Amino acid sequence: MSPILLAPTADLRASWLQAREEEGPGVHLHGAGLREHDDVNTPAGFTAWTARLRSCADTSVPPAPGWVHSTYRWVVENDTYLGTIDLRHELNDFLLEAGGHIGYSIRPSARRRGLATWALARTLERAHAMGLDRVLLTCDPDNTASAATIERNGGRLEDTRDTVLGPKRRYWITL
């Protein structure tokens, strides 16, 4: 079966928790939309978190202060959570400096299969359909896998600079 991009759902809680365990304690899950106060360990908390993620795309509701509207999708295959990708609808100052329009991560056991490249390509199509003409993506300078994913999708390196998140390679993709 081929992977799909799916809106976050509480139905995949067990698989998502297994993926988080693969990452290890304290690892930041890029593009997951996970905030400090989110409770993903209880069924009710996980349900509330996935509902919040789905609501982030609703432009009729103002985003939380400091945040922008985002469309979260999970990479899923055979009812197994493989990763996440987040399309931020616009850039605020923080995202322009360090975060970019799109963040993503693939669980360790699913890496090196081209899933990030595939998910990014689908998300770029969505960004174009939303009316964006170019998007910014960033990655750590030593994250060669992410840099390759971005470059395979047309990313052009603007520069590497120090940000509030540390040094970041900044790529623009014209849609």
Q: What integer pLDDT is reported at residue 1 of this predicted model?
A: 67
Over the chain (175 residues), what is each successive 10-residue block's mean pLDDT? 94 95 78 83 95 95 92 96 97 95 96 96 98 97 96 98 96 98
CA–CA distances in Å: residue 55 to residues 48, 102, 156: 11, 17, 32
Q: What integer pLDDT is reported at residue 32 of this predicted model?
A: 81
Q: What integer pLDDT is reported at residue 108 of this predicted model?
A: 94
Q: What integer pLDDT is reported at residue 125 of this predicted model?
A: 98
- pTM over 0.85? The answer is yes
Q: What integer pLDDT is reported at residue 24 of this predicted model?
A: 79
Q: What integer pLDDT is reported at residue 63 of this predicted model?
A: 93
Q: What integer pLDDT is reported at residue 4 of this predicted model?
A: 97
Helix or strand holding residue 74 (H, E): strand 70-77
Q: What integer pLDDT is reported at residue 131 of this predicted model?
A: 97
Q: Are 168 and 98 in contact (CB under 8 A)?
A: yes
CA distance 102 to 79: 24
Backbone torsion region of residue 26, taken as left when φ is above 0, otherwise alpha when ψ lies between -120 and 50, otherwise beta: left
* Longest pairwise C-alpha distance within the chain: 43
